[in-house]
Amino acid sequence: MSLRTVAACVAIWGLCAAPTLAQPPSNEAPPTLQKVRFEQRLGERVPHDAIFLDDTGAEVRLGDYLGERPVVLALVYYECPMLCPMIMNGLLQALKTLTFSPGEEFDVITVSFDPGETWQQARDAKTLHLERFGRPETAAGWHFLTGTEAVVRQLTDAVGFYYAYDPEQDEYAHAAGIVVLTPDGLVARYFYGIEFPPRDLRLGLVEAAEGKIGTLVDQVLLYCYRYDPTTGKYSAVVMNIIRLGGVVTVLVMAVFLTAAWRLDRRLAAMEKTV
């Protein structure tokens, strides 16, 4: 089985069977895939002092991008032949749907886990994805980084992302998904696969920001939906929806009765004047 075929299998696996990605692969899997997994590390802090090169070739600390806004973290490599472009395309489609913008409500950090890739490749990847995104004003909020193997491992270990290099194929096998970090750099949410529902991503960002972004509607949705770490998705909380429906019903009845009472008083006042 070629690594490209393996990559396609992992992509489908990540989309349709997300919970299994958090577990070590079966011993029956090919040796390369046995090293690949995406473990849940909710609450883990990413290494703020890790030094990377940005898409201009400048040295930056990961912590330089933390502290103000939640972060969407995408771990890919820029010369990936199949799976990474699918992940990035899924992220782009989700971002295009959001009314939130990188650099305002949140940031995006894309990190290559291939230590052989250069900042020039990061620059080219940024140019390509910003063109496809169609919002050039968000350039300051979307960062493309490269780093040494030791630095990259610090980050990938912190978020539970394990991958494997096959020298014969000169490709990496890896899982599919993105991670949402809090402004302080704590792992908040995982979204597995190659497609990311905009509603889930938006709610993940609102929760990671502790309600500092979003609208009243987002807060209502968070009351009705809860993040399920076993699936990496938001699921409806039936009892909360029933309670909310009851509250809405009571409010509607109260408004109706108040309006009816006021109308009755007006009619009574009109009868007295007549």
Task: List pLDDT tens digits, range 14-28.
Answer: 444 444 444 555 556
Q: Say which amino acid occupies 265.
A: R
What's the rounded Cα separation, in Å, for the pair 229 and 226? 10
Q: What is the mean pLDDT of residues 4-11?
A: 46
> For position 242, what pLDDT does the model report?
40
Q: Taking 70 as the threshold, does the pLDDT of residue 263 lie above it?
A: no
* Predicted pLDDT of residue 77: 96
Structure tokens at 209: 């920001």
With bands split at pLDDT 50, 70 and 90, how would you rate the model's confidence at 188? very high
**125: buried, middle or exposed (CB in 10 Å: 19+, 13-18, 0-12)?**
buried
Mean pLDDT of 128-149: 96
57: left (phi over 0), alpha (psi -120 to 50) or beta: left
Mean pLDDT of the chain: 82
Q: Which tops the pLDDT comparison, 90 or 15?
A: 90
Token reading at 239: 């009892």
pTM to 2 decimal places: 0.76
User: CA torsion 45→21→88→202, rounded to 10°?
Assistant: -60
CB of 22 within 8 A of CB of 35?
A: no
The length of the chain is 274
Tokens of 198: 């905009």
Comparing 22-31, 48-57, 97-106, 113-122, the range with the smallest average pLDDT is 22-31
**The pLDDT value given to residue 264:** 61
Paired sense of beta strands 59-61 and 51-53, if any: antiparallel
pLDDT at 261 over 90: no
Of 122-136, 208-222, 224-238, which one has max mean pLDDT?
A: 122-136
CA angle 162, 163, 166 (to 5 degrees): 155
Strands (E), the chain: 37-38, 51-53, 59-61, 71-76, 107-112, 142-145, 161-162, 164-166, 171-173, 177-181, 187-192, 225-228, 233-236
Count, in order, helices (H) and strands (E) of the chain: 8, 13
Q: Residue 20: its pLDDT value, please?
A: 41
Residue 36 identity (one-letter amino acid)? V
pLDDT above 70 covers a percentage of the chain that reads 73
At residue 272, the pLDDT reads: 65
CA gap 190, 120 in Å, rounded: 29
Say which range, 13-22, 203-212, 214-223, 249-258, has the weakest mean pLDDT. 13-22
Output DSSP code: residue 29: S
Residue 12's pLDDT band (cuts 50, 70, 90) = very low
Q: Give pLDDT, residue 106.
A: 97
